[in-house]
Amino acid sequence: MIHTALAWHPQAPLQPLTLPWLHVAGVEVAILRLDLIDPLISGNKWFKLREHLHCAVQQGATGLMSLGGAHSNHLHALAAAGQRFGFATVGLLRGHAQQTPTVQDLQAFGMHVHWLGYAGYRERHQAGFWQPWQAQYPGLYPIAEGGGGLAGTVGCADIVTLARNQLAGLGWRDYHGWWLAAGTGTTLAGLVRAEAGAHPVYGALAVPADHGVAENVAALVEHAGSGYQLIDASRGGFARTDARLLAFIAQSEAHSGVPLEPLYTGKALLALHDAVSEGRFAPGTRLIFIHTGGLQGHRP
């Protein structure tokens, strides 16, 4: 049942992140390990799903359907939640049938998977896209790609609460800002809304600036430009990696013991490294870095 999922309030540890370059700069970082909220439902996607689940319950839906690629963290979280809490899930996938570890999991979790091809997937924004799927799966509530929109921001307020409840354990009375990877910017917008200007939110963009993230965030936060900054961390393209990034990730993992992946969390940490190296944060600055998960999408 979908409503049993809404009663689940996962915990995520807030841990000191110890890396030599932070130490040198006198910048303190705590990492909120959303990758550890659950063995199967990992990262920020659960928080983005919450309000969609709430809407589904209100409409009396018996399950949910959504869209994504063959490595989608969003579909993975949705399918895992469906299995855990006992509701039906349907995934509409981009491209042609292929077996990835993600797709294997989706099917093992009981998600009904349909491959739309590339042309079919491009139609996802058109009016009437969902009609045939709703006819085929009556009672299933549709979520747009990535679980974004205003509904996607609402549950992200829980991320702020999760971290704030653990500050005392770190000996922190306060903090000076958030640093996290942004794809659509929905999670970032949720934090900005929850903070209401109290602390700045720095978004390390995993996609190039021309992907409309700035516009998406501006539309989702109440006051344009309030309390956030976007930093290009994409390294030339989503899913593009390079030797410097991969070496940095390996080194960071070895030093900190925190697993990273190269599309979001690795790029976000490298962008933080560069900002700290440029002296952007004064000694004594305390930042919360959000580990947004994504490890499932990067299995061999």
Ligand X SMILES: *Cc1c(COP(=O)(O)O)cnc(C)c1O
The contact set with ligand X (CB under 6 A) reads: 43-44, 48, 73, 146, 181-188, 264-265, 292-294
CA dist list (Å): 284 to 26, 29, 281, 287: 6, 10, 8, 10
Smallest distance from ligand X to CB 26, Å: 27
Smallest distance from ligand X to CB 207, Å: 9
Closest residue to bound ligand X by CB = 294
Smallest distance from ligand X to CB 254, Å: 20
Query: Of 68 and 82, which has the nearer Cβ to ligand X?
Result: 68
**In contact, 216 and 178? CB cutoff 8 Å:** no
Query: Of 153 and 166, which has the nearer Cβ to ligand X?
Result: 153
DSSP string, 195-243: HTTSS-EEEEESS-GGGSHHHHHHHHSSSTTSSEEEEE-STTSTT---H
Query: Of 73 and 256, which has the nearer Cβ to ligand X?
Result: 73
Smallest distance from ligand X to CB 90, Å: 20
Query: Of 102 and 184, which has the nearer Cβ to ligand X?
Result: 184
Q: Angle at Cα 58 formed by Cα 54 and Cα 64, nearest 5°?
A: 60
Smallest distance from ligand X to CB 10, Å: 16
Query: Of 25 and 192, which has the nearer Cβ to ligand X?
Result: 192
- Count Cβ atoms below 10 Å from residue 180 Cβ, excluding itself: 24
